[in-house]
Homo-oligomer: A and B are copies of this chain.
Amino acid sequence: MSSEKAYVNPHVVRAEYAVRGLIPARADEIKKEIAEGKGAHPFTSLVYCNIGNPQSLDQKPLTFNRQVMALFDAPFLLEDEALVARFPADAVARAKEYVDRVGNVTGAYTDSFGYDFAREAVAACINERDHHVQPEATMEEICMTDGASGGITMAMELVLGGLEDAVMIPIPQYPFYTAQIALLGAKTAPYYLHEADRWAMQADDLAAAYNKCMEEKKATPRLLVCINPGNPTGGVLDRKVMEDVVRFCYDYNVLLLADEVYQENIYAADRKFVSFREVVLSMPAPYSTGTMLVSLHSTSKGMIGECGRRGGFLNYTNLPAFSREMLSKLASLALCANVNGQVMTALMSTPPQKGDASYESYWAEYNGIFSSLKERAALLARELNTIRGMSCQLVDGAMYAFPQITLPARYAEYNEAQNKKEGRKLALDARWSLELLEATGIVVVPGSGFGQEPNTLHFRTTILPPTAQMERMVAAIRDFQEKVYKDYA
């Protein structure tokens, strides 16, 4: 009867989410201490590189999108001529179009799958992106979601019933996946990405991971997660590798979950984004007609960076009728995605066109953000590669670098002694990340939070700090790592 013994779901206890885990929690404490003038920290502010949250690090929102959103939120403003005159004509026209499509009702529940106008916009954008591969996407295959994470949850709920079901996940992976799998009480079937091969997967590994899961965990992989461009790796897949993945999914009857939220974040000159949808539909039958695919996108990344809107969509291909029906049920159980996220997703799918009043300014903003991200991606990898005990693949895409670190042997002994003293079990890279934070105020996530090849150490950092800040950040990491090497030589 003592509530101190309150029961807690063991799946929740097991779930871990490093991106908002130990290191960021300590960072928040330090931030508070600094604000209150407490503690003696050798820095005056923190650099949050733990989460892909661009607008929190000075990335400006695209003006046109916000103008339309404001008018959609308060449609009565459209009747005020003096006010409307303060907006560009295309923003007003777009807001009017959306408001008309929803019958002037901009705060009600939408259909379970979302606003028709948003789903149509997404379908048109997908067809353009995928070079009109046949059959073209229609709005029936589009469900608006609260961010891509809403889509991940739906796809997982669709096929994971419990301990006898598993999900094939890349290692390293985005820990939202392992956390959701744990919550659903299912198992993981990990397959490794090859760091030296620009973080690509290999077909043989997939089959081996599948069989290992069946044999050792007695669980059937129902879903294969592929994050492209990669989080945390920054890798961009080559089309040939993608075809291997598709063949595997078809052959093993596994639903392919393509997490493509970074599809606009491609920096490598020799890579371009190709969607899994285009790959699947361009292959010969039966792959083109029988590979089950759920693709996800979001308004949180790209150049739009509207993380807090929780906008996104799920697009399915080759899903059998009964699965579609069950997906509809899941969507209806979620009532509907939030309307502002839906509007933002429609806007992301339909930027201003040539001749529109906002065309020049929109693309100037967009391209400004893109070149700055590209510059920072190059700068970060280049500089990290000049630091002792650190090597980093080029950041081909997405918003992250995942450098490998090597540490002096005595640092491992030190960590063991500290763990004993503190009564905890910090992994070696978690210790390193924690001490980096205490010494520099830089918040990164240890590689152990994402998974990594045995006997390797990594950390993930975003490429999001503004250039000048990133230069200071790299210098601080360099000094820290030099000190580690000096103190534990």
Contacts and interface: CB of A to CB of B under 8 A. Distances in A.
A12 B222 CA distance: 15
Interface string A71-86: 1011011001011001
A53 interface: yes
Interface in A82-130: 82-83, 86, 105-110, 112
A332 B20 contact: yes
A161 B56 contact: no
A107 B183 contact: no
Interface in A298-345: 300, 305-310, 318-323, 326, 329-330, 332-341
Interface string A52-72: 011110000101001101110
A455 interface: no
Given A109-B53, A333-B180, A146 B308 contact: no
Contact of A158 (B12, B76, B222, B320): B12
A7 B159 contact: yes
Nearest to A300: B109
Contact of A13 (B180, B318, B326, B341): B326
User: Which of A4, A290, A335 has the most C-beta atoms of chain B within 10 angstroms of its own C-beta?
Assistant: A335
Contacts of A251: 1
User: Which of A21, A107, A308 has the most C-beta atoms of chain B within 10 angstroms of its own C-beta?
Assistant: A107
A160 B292 CA distance: 31
Contacts of A77: 70, 86
A107 B308 contact: yes
A192 interface: no
A6 interface: yes
A7 B222 contact: yes
B3 A292 contact: yes
Given A70-B77, A73-B69, A107 B147 contact: no
Given A6-B322, A20-B112, A109-B308, 17 more contacts: A1-B253, A4-B321, A6-B253, A6-B319, A11-B157, A12-B326, A13-B326, A51-B109, A53-B108, A55-B107, A56-B109, A70-B71, A83-B83, A161-B185, A338-B338, A338-B340, A338-B341
Interface of A: 1-13, 15, 17, 20-21, 51, 53-56, 61, 63, 66-67, 69-71, 73-74, 76-77, 80, 82-83, 86, 105-110, 112, 146-147, 149, 157-162, 165, 176, 179-180, 183, 185, 220, 222, 250-251, 253, 255, 290-292, 300, 305-310, 318-323, 326, 329-330, 332-341
